[in-house]
Structure 1
Amino acid sequence: MSVKVAIQGINGSFHQQVAHAYFGNDAQIVACKTFKEVAKQLKKEEADYAVMAIENSIAGALIPNYALIDTHQFHVLGEYFLKISLNFMALPGQSIEDITEVHSHPIALLQCAKFLEKHKHIKVIESSDTAIAAQRIRAGNLHGVAALAGPTASQMYDLEILVPEVQSVESSITRFMILEKESASSSVCTINKASIKFELDDTPGSLATVLNVMNNCGLNLTKIQSMPIIEKPFQYSFFVDVIFEDYACFEKARSILEIMTTHFKVLGTYTVAELPVSEICKNKNKEQAIVLV
């Protein structure tokens, strides 16, 4: 029996690509208009899992999604990195000069800011999802309107890519979290990454002390994101990702941090995901070029 996976967006979206890449093409997609609806579907068990973007290498963190994961007590089952390819697409037979509007998700528009600045005759309009923008063009037979979306959307809705890869930075990568309602058992042998959340008191240097504990226990900090605590003005909770070679190192750090912090919580322990191979190769080649110079 195939699993049901809740995503923000529709078929052709980047979330759908991640859902099928992680769970297989047999996974049933539960399309949602918003991330709040994604959380609702998972909470009500209308979906077995959820896929949720958490940060982008250009646009940064999606802080509201951290709040959704925390508020609903979801468990992070894993992560997935996807190279974001944004393409300027429209109904076939048109040129870029024929286009008067472009529709896409706000973050996608932000990632293509340099391209859009070169074409000031095109009106920029925000959409709830990249694939929805493409779908509407096909459904409404909208000439003069373009979408910024992935190549999957182009194929699915039979749109012509007028200009490929228009994102401002070529190596735009989004990190997605794979969520489940409650933690299922998994092999400790494969776990080498953890996402945690904690709060601190007003003691001077408390955050520095926490970071030292992580370092002394052999944890490598890969992400730290602060988020305001609404009921405590100018105080913050911290969402942290760490990787480790030995699960025992994490358990040791956890036992200490539970004492040192307030509201300590493990959001999930899982296996580190790999960056897209092409991006790794590019980075290595760049490093080699620098050495040669």
Structure 2
Amino acid sequence: MIKSVAIQGVKGSFHHIVSQDYFGENMQVNECLSFDDTVDALLSRKTEAAIMALENSIAGSIIPNYALIDNNSLHIVGEYYLDIQHHLMALPNQAIEAIKEVHSHPMALLQCKTFLKNYPHIKLVEAKDTAEVAKRISKQKIKGIAAIASKLASQLFDLTILAESIQTIKHNETRFAIVKRSNSEIPKEEINKASVKFELDHKRGSLATILNVMSDCKLNLTKIQSLPKIETPWLYAFFVDVTFENYSDFEKAKSIMKIMATHFKILGEYKNAKH
């Protein structure tokens, strides 16, 4: 049983909500201001696990986080999908008309763009973390500034919600990875999803061939993300998520892909949270 988990952001952030839902409300959280700090907390053994957002149903992949997991040889041991509801909040007894600025994470501002267009007098200011803004407003008693954050943040920092669920697309989901220093402890028969990374030569049909191998081995491709190799122009690394019914099918595909691709690497084997 792990004792602490590193999260990007402060208590009240969406990463904090995932830590409570996944590990329980009594889990000790190590607050980090960036994903680099989150990984450092794990590598320096200040914590036994980390939670990292990987993709959002509206904004797409958070590509630097795939690279952080890969470059630091970390392992995805689980995943969690969280319904993201953005709320506009400020100190009590203020009308929305009295708000001069809204501070939040760039992704949150982007996801609430349509709502914010209705208030052209409000200046939008980017911040590192949604909940950190809420905490600062509360601590410093800042009037005239609102945060976009979770309902938990409003409760923790005694802020009033001025408008609920202001994100443009109401069904807004983020996929989070649970990351550890070593690979999963889950028995093989319970594993039905994997994240892998490989590189391919810049030859016609090389990607199509490897995707056919996955299909022939009964793997379902749920995600493919390319990342350019900075030191080698026009060479790409591919991050791929696959699901499967039987682990033996994945083992078969794995043995073929190791031969076909260069630098084949397993980033994680775990339970499919959407199963």
TM-score when scaled to structure 2?
0.98
Contact 2:96 2:162 in 1 (8 A): yes
1:103 aligns with 103
Alignment of 1:104-143 (within 5 A): 104-143=104-143
Q: Displacement, 1:31?
A: 0.3
1:284 aligns with none
The code of the aligned residue for 1:238 comes to F
Q: Once superposed, what is the RMSD of the aligned Cα atoms?
A: 1.0
What is the aligned residue count?
275
SS of aligned partner of 1:233: coil
**Distance in 1 separating the partners of 2:102 and 2:140:** 14
**Distance in 1 separating the partners of 2:130 and 2:203:** 45
Alignment of 1:125-274 (within 5 A): 125-274=125-274
2:15 aligns with 15
Structure 1: which 5+ runs fail to align?
276-293
**Distance in 2 separating the partners of 1:143 and 1:274:** 42
Q: Displacement, 1:184?
A: 4.1
**Distance in 2 separating the partners of 1:45 and 1:190:** 28
Alignment of 1:48-59 (within 5 A): 48-59=48-59
Give aligned-pair identity as a percent.
53
**Distance in 1 separating the partners of 2:95 and 2:172:** 26
Q: Displacement, 1:2?
A: 5.3
Q: Displacement, 1:186?
A: 1.9
**Distance in 2 separating the partners of 1:98 and 1:144:** 6
Q: Displacement, 1:3?
A: 1.4
SS of aligned partner of 2:128: coil
User: C-alpha offsets along residues 222-270 of structure 1, whole Å, 9 cap, x if unaligned?
Assistant: 0000111110112210000000000000000000000000000000000
**Distance in 2 separating the partners of 1:139 and 1:250:** 51
Contact 2:10 2:131 in 1 (8 A): yes
User: C-alpha offsets along residues 91-137 of structure 1, whole Å, 9 cap, x if unaligned?
Assistant: 11111100000011111111111111121110101111000010011
Contact 1:77 1:269 in 2 (8 A): yes
4+ residue segments displaced more than 2 Å = none
Contact 2:86 2:166 in 1 (8 A): yes
Contact 1:91 1:143 in 2 (8 A): yes
The code of the aligned residue for 2:214 comes to M
User: C-alpha offsets along residues 29-88 of structure 1, whole Å, 9 cap, x if unaligned?
Assistant: 000010000011101111100000000001111011011000000000000000000001
Q: Displacement, 1:274?
A: 3.0
**Distance in 1 separating the partners of 2:221 and 2:2:** 36
SS of aligned partner of 1:146: strand
Q: Displacement, 1:180?
A: 0.2
Contact 1:74 1:182 in 2 (8 A): yes
**Distance in 1 separating the partners of 2:184 and 2:75:** 9
Contact 1:2 1:28 in 2 (8 A): no
1:75 aligns with 75
TM-score when scaled to structure 1?
0.92
**Distance in 1 separating the partners of 2:50 and 2:197:** 20
SS of aligned partner of 1:245: coil
2:45 aligns with 45
SS of aligned partner of 2:26: coil
